[in-house]
Structure 1
Amino acid sequence: MTTTPLVRRLAAFAVAARDRGLPPKLRAEAAERILDCLGNSLLAREESAPRAVLAVARDWGTTGPAHVIGTDHSLAAPAAALVNGTLAHAMDFDDSHMLSVLHPSASVIPAALAVAEATGARGPQLLDAVTVGTEVCIRLGIAGYDPDLRNSLFFERGQHATSICGTLGAAVAAAMLLGAEEDTVAAALGIAASTGAGLLEANRTGGTVKRMHCGWAAHAGVAAAQLARAGITGPPTVLEGRFGFFQAWCGDRARPEAVLDGLGERWETSEIIVKPYPCNHFTHPGIDAALRLRAEGVRGEDVVHGELRVPTAMHRTIGEPEAAKATPATGYAAAFSGPFTVATALLGGGGLGVWFDDFTDATAHDPARRALAGVIRCVPDPALDALFPTRLPALLRVTTRDGRRHEIRVETSKGGPDMPLTVEEKEHKFRLSAATALPPERADAVLGAVRALPEGGSVTDLLALCSVRAAPQPSAA
């Protein structure tokens, strides 16, 4: 008996979804994620990492039909996907999926937007490609989740599943929009599996390369789809084979069968959650707890000791190395610090409770925040491990100068499966983000264009509304 390879099953799934179209609910959810991605990207337009990536892409001389968000530049689809994917992930504000322990949209959406513009696809085709691409990305991540460890095998090995799995999801979305049939979609997956990568050491010790991980994944996904259409092929057992994707990244503990479990019946994309705070998602339950303490009258200035208890896997990202988390070197590093984010929320952050001006290099060295972060210990709590990763929990205890002890337990963070952001909250987040680049009436027009996508709205018109005359770019030479 011959078992159909996984890439063939995924390719058939993608082509069938494109040919018959997806339900309105899934398209509406995809539109919400596109809105979030556009807001995050506009917010990042003046950041050094995407500016550097744009300078390199422009030096390649690849002008073309695909807009670069937040600028007045248009590039060839792979180059635009590179820059837009970098923008989407640069602020670490992109959406998340808990069980797969990755950010599914920041690679797939930029790839799909670029190819949709290049091919003249309309809103429904874009939304279907985004939905299927993110579904593939998520399911690959879930297959790398170890129930015994209660964590991602990718993560345990220091690998960035977001960009590794995102490359394959981007390839599927791009291939769908290119009109590929099953053989070509399978080939695109096979090619993408050899090009996805990403290491997480930057989370621990710094460096800006992680900010471009999703850009490279989007770029590689578009290139894989184009190469497949040109005749390059991949191994049929590229996912489950002896030297395939899962063995190479996750070893013997991967669960390839999870890729197909309920495929087309249960949509993991519906479990994607939008971030309310612009920092690492593992810091969010601590921020929630700190904001609740503030609402109850606890002042950060009065806290003399604190303990943030989180699941063991979360602690490795937001609690280690201990000294670096208490005294982050940069604003970006501060966004990955449990003690610093709790201190910021207790002292009073901006935006939705904590905002981007809380994570500048200057605020990372603010004496008051550092002093408070220095008395807050972040510790792993095995009792919370059972809730992770489908929930992000935390327990925050603080002692104030008057000797009183205060405790807040958060079972799941704001925006999570049990507390999703409302449509109004998502629109508020978008407007706050877009305000850094667009006047209010243009932001409203972008919002309207996104809402029109399910009814056949123009992708090109949408991205043209996101165009902004850019400041002079640094030379890549």
Structure 2
Amino acid sequence: MNQMPSPVELTTSLTTQLSAAIMARPVSNDDLTAAALFTLDAVANIVAGRNSVQGRKLLAWQNSMSNGAGHPVDRARLSFLYGSLCHILEVDDLHRASVVHPGCIVVPAVFAMGAGSNGKAALTAILRGFEACCRVGMSVGPEHYKIWHNTATCGPFGSAMAVASLLELDAAACVNALGNAGSQSAGLWQFLDTGAETKHLHAGRGAEAGLVAATLAEHGFTGAPEILEGERGFYRATCPNPDETLLLPADSDPWQLHQTSIKPWPSCRHTHPAIECGLTLHRQLPDGIPIRAVRVFAYQAALDLCDRVEADTAYAGKFSLQHCVATALLEGAVLFENFEAEARGEARDLRSRTTVSVVDQFQSAYPRHWGSRIEVELEDGSMISHEVTDARGDPELPLSHNDMVAKARGLLVHGRHPDPDDLIDCILAMPQSADVPDLSGLMADRQNGTQ
């Protein structure tokens, strides 16, 4: 019987190099402050996600799984619940170059594992978790994203790295954590064809898988060190054109958390550049002249996911360029209520007169920049247009500190948190080592899904 190799001996594997590079990176006060704001955004999404159809289903499920005790029975299940809730409203963060939503994977794992622990250590873990899943996401190549949901497949590397940091695992145990996390990578886009709720499951399982992998590694449970590049590994199985050169950070690179975008509108991030254009054009529309036609120009990935004239459900509307643009033009705002049945009906006519297509200008810039242009043809034959290279909330056009706090407060109010300002203050104090807030008390099942 052949002896299995020890991960400690395989020091040249990509996961060994990745974890070592991440753990060696310095963390500044500015990094911690930024991480606190991104953490606040994710936590607000978790709380707000409870007040939704899917959130109420998840809370009822976890209540049944805990025999009516009203709370998850273990931290792995709690991580799953937090991650699933965080991704429901489609207003969580997005890292463009990797097409990963890191916050809904990493923050749930840290808050499930580290409630009551040192806030500075937790934020450092979150920085490291963002780095791992974004780096893996950048390396998988564009073909991966056509079939696989990068948040689900690359996310477990992030949650594993974050929990490994929180547990202060040694180098060998970190490799074990990443090895076992990578073997749990999964998540397919097929749910889009029917509007199934599977996408929330992707975030929950991604958060849970990494937590399980790291806590097993703490007990010496081994994982494949060459899970990325091995002959039967992640790249070979799921990536027709991986680029390993994007996996490891250079000394001059910023933490990838600083390269992550914050969503101002509750829809797929691929719709946001077009929404930005639509909102600008709404302010330019002349009174009394109807819109004849709308043309949206974008990049291929946006069309692959969001070319959808019909919006039969709120979720379909969030993945419809046509609906989001029509709403922006008609209403001058894109809010939660703009995806409900009445609003979808009001936008139906303009949706039907909205076309979408790919142009090289935006295709060649993707994924480093997500741009769009809209042309609006009016009934008198005149035309107005607007284009953006990046969208509001991108690193090039970041939301201000006050904007992010206001967004979080709005989400917490939507989720009926009993004291939004107290939770905001607790999270923003984490860079000064304030304890990680415990969210588990909010997860009890209620008739309306909230406290």
* Same structural fold, with TM-score higher than 0.5 when normalized by the shorter chain: yes
The aligned runs of 1:328-407 (5 Å cut-off) are: 328-348=311-331, 353-364=333-344, 366=345, 368-407=346-385
Report if the CA contact (8 A) 2:95-2:101 is conserved: yes
What residue identity is the alignment partner of 2:362? L
> Aligned equivalents of 2:273 and 2:409: distance in 1?
24
Report if the CA contact (8 A) 2:48-2:416 is conserved: no
Deviations 1:306-332 (A, max 9, x none): 11111122211111xxxxx11211010
1:153 to 140, 143, 167: 143
Deviations 1:413-464 (A, max 9, x none): 111232111111111211221112346x821111111110000111135x37
1:327 to 290, 310, 335: 310
Report if the CA contact (8 A) 1:90-1:212 is conserved: no
Distance of aligned partners of 1:333 and 1:299 in 2 relative to their CA distance in 1, 3 Å threshold? farther
> Aligned equivalents of 2:17 and 2:288: distance in 1?
54
What residue identity is the alignment partner of 1:262? A
What does residue 419 of structure 2 align with? 442
Report if the CA contact (8 A) 2:289-2:380 is conserved: no
What does residue 103 of structure 2 align with? 105
What does residue 36 of structure 1 align with? 41
Report if the CA contact (8 A) 1:299-1:347 is conserved: no
What residue identity is the alignment partner of 2:427? V
What does residue 235 of structure 2 align with? 246
Identity %: 29
**1:469 deviation in Å?**
6.2
Aligned to 2:94, what secondary structure does the other structure show? coil
Report if the CA contact (8 A) 2:99-2:137 is conserved: yes
> Aligned equivalents of 2:289 and 2:38: distance in 1?
38
1:4 to 12, 25, 30: 12
> Aligned equivalents of 1:326 and 1:347: distance in 2?
16
Q: CA RMSD in A?
A: 2.4
**1:153 deviation in Å?**
2.6
Alignment of 1:471 with 2:446, yes or no, is yes
* TM-score of the aligned structures, taking structure 2 as reference length: 0.91
What does residue 119 of structure 2 align with? 123
* TM-score of the aligned structures, taking structure 1 as reference length: 0.87
> Aligned equivalents of 2:245 and 2:282: distance in 1?
46
Distance of aligned partners of 1:136 and 1:469 in 2 relative to their CA distance in 1, 3 Å threshold? closer
Deviations 1:168-222 (A, max 9, x none): 1101111221232111111111111111211112234411111221111111111
What does residue 59 of structure 1 align with? 64
What does residue 132 of structure 1 align with? 128
- Structure 2 unaligned regions, length at least 5: 1-9
**1:15 deviation in Å?**
4.4
What does residue 87 of structure 2 align with? 89
What does residue 5 of structure 2 align with? none
Report if the CA contact (8 A) 2:281-2:386 is conserved: yes
**1:116 deviation in Å?**
0.7
- Structure 1 unaligned regions, length at least 5: 65-71, 146-151, 320-324
Report if the CA contact (8 A) 2:258-2:395 is conserved: no
2:435 to 428, 434, 458: 458
Report if the CA contact (8 A) 2:84-2:203 is conserved: yes
> Aligned equivalents of 1:155 and 1:60: distance in 2?
33
Aligned to 1:343, what secondary structure does the other structure show? helix
**1:165 deviation in Å?**
0.7
Aligned to 2:373, what secondary structure does the other structure show? strand
Aligned to 1:387, what secondary structure does the other structure show? coil
What does residue 273 of structure 1 align with? 261
Report if the CA contact (8 A) 1:169-1:221 is conserved: yes
Runs of at least 4 residues of structure 1 off by over 6 A? Answer: none
Report if the CA contact (8 A) 2:59-2:443 is conserved: no
What does residue 180 of structure 1 align with? 169
What does residue 149 of structure 1 align with? none
Q: How many residues align?
A: 441
Report if the CA contact (8 A) 1:115-1:178 is conserved: no
